[in-house]
Structure 1
Amino acid sequence: MPAVRVWLLFLLLSPGLASAESLRLVANPWPPFNDQKLPGKGLASDLVEQALKRAGYSTSYVEVPWERAVRGLQRGDYDVLINAWYSLERTNYGYFSQPYLVNRLRFLQRKGDEIRFENLADLYPYSIAIIRGYAYSKEFDNDPHLLKVGVGSFENAARMLHAGRVQLALEDELVARHLLARELSSIRDELEFLPLPLSENGLHILVRRSHAQHHEIAERFDTAIQTMRDDGSYAETLRRHSP
């Protein structure tokens, strides 16, 4: 039997593979991890698209605000949210891959404010700007005594902090440093990190559970990331996106 006919027969007998060939990816703008204006659309986008291509999928990619991305995944508008931290609530509508990056979450204060942070109770007197809809850590998210002020972006959080409207802002360290060196450069020298991070969170893709192959997509993605680590292309991608 000719090779082309064998391949077509294989596709007909493998509906899961055929239907999984194209995936609709979504992320929120989150430089340097996700940003259509950056090379490779940012570090996380670049890694995910490379891994899914290796896993046998073609992809399309859009960026929308975080809450729209989550709602779109829940409605089935998108197949894969590519920049998700783990939370139990998200497992109701999505299936997590293994982490493919790690985010180090740190608080920022106005320079000289001398806020001390060793445990969450130390932060009870202060207002903290956070991104609406984000999951930071189980303890932080569920602590009712913390005064959290929801904002739409870290840029808003940093400007509120600089203006004295909040006492702290919380963000991934690489994201904060990226934006403070660019869009927020005018206030960069007036803000500083607290020494102790809140947490280190694994960054995952989140595949919508309503997709018939959600488990297979995540599993094949995990395998592809491991092959990238093994052959050096993962490390090369990190170098390409380093400041």
Structure 2
Amino acid sequence: MPRCSRAVALIGMLLLAQPAFAQRLRLVADAWPPFTDATLINGGLATDIVSTALARAGYASDFEQVPWARALMGVGDGRYDVLVNAWYDDARTHLGQFSAKYLINRLVFIKRRDDPIEFQNLEQLHDYPIAVVRGYAYSAAFDQDTLLQKIPVHNFAMAVRMLVARRVRLTVEDEYVARYYLAQESPRVRNSVEFLPQSLSENSLHILVSLKNPEHEQIVASFDREIAKMKTDGSYARLMKQHGM
């Protein structure tokens, strides 16, 4: 083989040995620590898991943090490829394709310590104003119950302060998210509230891949495959431990 041909063949072999990144994906999420937040290690637990699984599948990625409504709209119109932190909702299937679950979120109600509210079923809560984050899906039963008095707010910090100020009787949030934010509140706020023991629901967390991306089915399949491998080889557990879970 001529020397030039051997050089070309060697370069080709080296290129084939490198990870073949099909495209650079635009990841998006809102600020939802400890799961997604640009100020945390690798963008938070969920962002780290998602970007790692996608990288293993051959997809490079960039992460952008924007408000929730903008993130969801951006996936719908194709501005972003992957929404990192989506709970399943039928309406969202018109915007993107869901992956299989890769995390579980346990949703709990939070009340003032001096408020004797009990929760076994949603009917018990119909008389209580409940602060909810605008645009979030909680559970099918909760979201569809028109007799619940849902008070939309911008974020959990606003919700818990309204709770302490007696402007609402309850709020609801993922347990780990609530604990993260409560740790940053004043002792007066933090010590004034408590979790109800029974959870509202346990929701599975997914990525939502924009239908505008022509490879959305392949991206989801590759992501699901790599998450399964990560759980088998121990890398998933190592990421959980790294993020304090």
Q: Normalising by structure 1, what TM-score?
A: 0.92
Aligned-residue sequence identity (percent) comes to 50
The amino acid of 1:182's aligned partner reads Q
Assess, with a 3 A threshold, how the Cα gap between structure 1 residues 184 and 37 changes in structure 2: closer, same or farther: farther
SS of the residue aligned with 2:239? helix
SS of the residue aligned with 2:34? coil
1:5-28 CA deviation, whole Å, 9 max, x = no partner? 47889xxxxxxx87x421000000
CA distance, structure 2, for counterparts of residue 4 and residue 189 of structure 1: 64
Q: Shift of the alpha carbon at 1:186?
A: 4.3
The amino acid of 1:206's aligned partner reads L
Does the 8 A contact of 1:179 with 1:185 survive in 2? no
Superposition misfits of 4+ residues, deviation over 6 angstroms: 6-9
1:21-80 CA deviation, whole Å, 9 max, x = no partner? 210000000000011111121110111111110010000101111111111111111000
Does the 8 A contact of 1:155 with 1:184 survive in 2? no
CA distance, structure 2, for counterparts of residue 51 and residue 185 of structure 1: 39
Partner of 1:13: none
Structure 1 residue ranges without an equivalent (≥5): 10-16
Partner of 1:83: 85
CA distance, structure 2, for counterparts of residue 123 and residue 112 of structure 1: 17
Assess, with a 3 A threshold, how the Cα gap between structure 1 residues 82 and 185 changes in structure 2: closer, same or farther: farther
Worse-matched range after superposition: 182-191 or 35-44: 182-191
Partner of 1:181: 183
CA distance, structure 2, for counterparts of residue 218 and residue 183 of structure 1: 38
SS of the residue aligned with 2:37? coil
User: Larger C-alpha radius of gyration, 1 or 2?
Assistant: 2
Assess, with a 3 A threshold, how the Cα gap between structure 1 residues 184 and 205 changes in structure 2: closer, same or farther: farther
- The count of aligned residue pairs is 235
Q: Normalising by structure 2, what TM-score?
A: 0.91
Partner of 1:205: 207
Alignment partner of 1:217 out of 210, 214, 219: 219
The amino acid of 1:179's aligned partner reads Y
Does the 8 A contact of 2:106 with 2:201 survive in 1? yes
Partner of 2:123: 121
SS of the residue aligned with 1:103? strand
Structure 2 residue ranges without an equivalent (≥5): 1-7
Q: Shift of the alpha carbon at 1:183?
A: 4.0
Partner of 1:70: 72
SS of the residue aligned with 2:116? coil
CA distance, structure 1, for counterparts of residue 221 and residue 157 of structure 2: 35
